[in-house]
Amino acid sequence: MENAFSKFKKIDAHSHIGFFGSPFNVNFNADMLARQMDEYNIEKTILCPAAATLNEELLAAYKQMSDRIIPLCWVNANLGQAAYDMLEHYLRDEHFAGVKMQPLFDAFTADSPMVDPIMEIAKQYSKPVFIHCGHPPFSLPWQIGLLAERHPDVPTVMIHMGHGHGVYIDGSITMAKKYDNLMLECSGMPMGCQIKNAYENVGAERIMFGIDSPFHHPTVEIQRVLSCGLNDTQLEDVFYNNAARFMGM
């Protein structure tokens, strides 16, 4: 039976598969993902592993659910050439759909010169880059803005669009207004009003829904979008159309 949470067809633009240890101690596997997608009318999930060392786990899930998963290779810029070679392998040989970076977990700044080769590889393969956004000192929106400025031809997603800090959320919107290659993903961002703000002031096609499993529950993330003040046609953009367009579906 359809309910408010399953009413709109969706693309989850950011979730993870695998186990996250301390301090989180949460797990999410392919079976859990499939059930979640069925229950909440999610057609595709843009999926990341639980760490840069676990891309093979994502590959296994992708082979199991290739019609439902859009895989992103998590790459740690600190590893230098080994990271660049690994990324190229997954984009070229395993047909991953894009790049994921987590500057907070991997302890590098989003605008570090070490990130430039990653952006160049993404450009070479015409793939988007997804970057965790919202935690000092590594993943502030202004750092991602500087990176976007250096790589204007690389479509780049600010995951969480500033996360839990109002100043960082505002900064993410400001950066997205300044740089056309920046897209906003809203999982874990607590201010529903800023979804509508971004839709109206950054661009109707530039903000998209995500869950960030296993850290957040689908009902919470869906309800935030449902309550943001957009009409049904606009909600369809956030829940589905924008991610589909961005990923070339």
Q: For 135-172, how does the pLDDT look when each residue is reduced to its tens digit (9 = 90+)? A: 999 999 999 999 999 999 999 999 999 999 999 999 99
* Cα–Cα distance measured from residue 97 to residue 46, given in angstroms and rounded to the nearest whole number: 9
Nearest alpha carbon to residue 45 among 201, 187, 198: 187
CA 115 to chain centre: 17
CB atoms within 10 A of CB 7: 15
Question: 5 in a domain, yes or no?
Answer: no
Which CATH number covers residue 218? 3.20.20.140
**Residues of the chain under the 50 pLDDT cut:** 1
Give pLDDT tens digits for 26-52: 999 999 999 999 999 999 999 999 999
Q: Can you give the pLDDT at residue 2?
A: 66
Question: 16 in a domain, yes or no?
Answer: no
Question: 10 in a domain, yes or no?
Answer: no
Q: Can you give the pLDDT at residue 1?
A: 46
Query: If residue 81 lies in a helix (H) or strand (E), which one and from where to where?
Result: helix 81-92
Angstrom distances, CA of residue 204 to CA of 75, 192, 199, 207, 233: 30, 15, 5, 7, 11
Q: For the chain, what is the radius of gyration of the CA atoms? A: 16
Question: 20 in a domain, yes or no?
Answer: no
- Structural tokens at position 54: 């676990």
Is the whole-model pTM more than 0.75?
Answer: yes
Question: 161 in a domain, yes or no?
Answer: yes
Question: 58 in a domain, yes or no?
Answer: yes
Query: Which residues does 76 contact at the CB level (< 8 Å), separation at least 6?
Result: 52, 83, 101, 102, 106, 108
User: Residue 70 carries which side chain, given as an amino acid letter?
Assistant: I
Counting every residue, how long is the chain?
249
Q: Can you give the pLDDT at residue 83?
A: 97
Domain coverage including residue 174: 25-246
- Number of folded domains that form the chain: 1
Q: Can you give the pLDDT at residue 4?
A: 85
End-to-end Cα distance, the chain = 27
CB atoms within 10 A of CB 35: 10
Question: 240 in a domain, yes or no?
Answer: yes
Query: If residue 236 lies in a helix (H) or strand (E), which one and from where to where?
Result: helix 232-236
Question: 125 in a domain, yes or no?
Answer: yes
* Cα–Cα distance measured from residue 219 to residue 5, given in angstroms and rounded to the nearest whole number: 6
